[in-house]
Amino acid sequence: MTQSGFVLAGGESSRMGRDKALLPYHGTSLVEHIASAVREAAGNVKIIVNDKIPGCGPLGGLFTALSSSETDWNLVVACDMPGISSEPLRILLKRAEISPRDCVAAQSSDGSLEPLCAVYHRRCLPTVARAIRDKRLKMMDLLAELSTEAQPIDRGALANANTPAEWAAFENEPK
């Protein structure tokens, strides 16, 4: 196994008002849908629910994933991207395998990076640990600190569902 897949599902879902990971999605839950896409792309998946260092947000989830991984490259995806599928995740993993960088992050058509749809090399772990120690918990700040490569991905695959309105809009989109 040369790569690992992780889904971060330990957030508070405060803007949604209920656990986003458990939202019903095509006969299953949103987290299971995303875990299936990650498994198809990476060949395996672990769902991170409890962080080794709680209270650090997604950075704590990334720390937990990287510190438990036995592989160099680690696909990390948030549990709130209903449009994600295995194909863009495979693209990220293929790019990471040949990249000299520490991280390959999905980039939407507007140029923004998505740190929670990215592949991290395990050599990022000391930088992640230092950021947590120093209380620098913003994921975008981490991407700026790491040697990060942007990989264009369809914007629809990266859409987040953080609020009931965003979830309703996603559910009402034609499939």
E-state strands within 9-95: 24-25, 28-29, 46-48, 73-78
Is the pLDDT at 1 greater than 60, yes or no? no
On whether the CB atoms of residues 63 and 128 are closer than 8 A, the answer is yes
On whether the CB atoms of residues 83 and 159 are closer than 8 A, the answer is yes
Q: Mean per-residue pLDDT for 15-23?
A: 81
Token code pair at residue 128: 């992640």
User: Which position has the higher pLDDT, 168 or 53?
Assistant: 53
User: Would you state the pLDDT for residue 14?
Assistant: 77
Provide the CATH topology of domain 3-163.
Spore Coat Polysaccharide Biosynthesis Protein SpsA; Chain A (3.90.550)
Distances (CA, A) of 129 to 40, 61, 92, 110: 29, 11, 24, 30
State the amino acid at position 27 in one-letter form: G
What phi, psi does 12 have (nearest 5°)? -85, -20
Residue 172 CB partners (closer than 8 Å, separation 6+): none
Tens digit of each residue's pLDDT (9 = 90 or more) over 143-174: 999 999 999 998 788 988 888 888 888 777 65
d(CA 22, CA 31) in angstroms, rounded, equals 6
Single pTM value for the model? 0.94
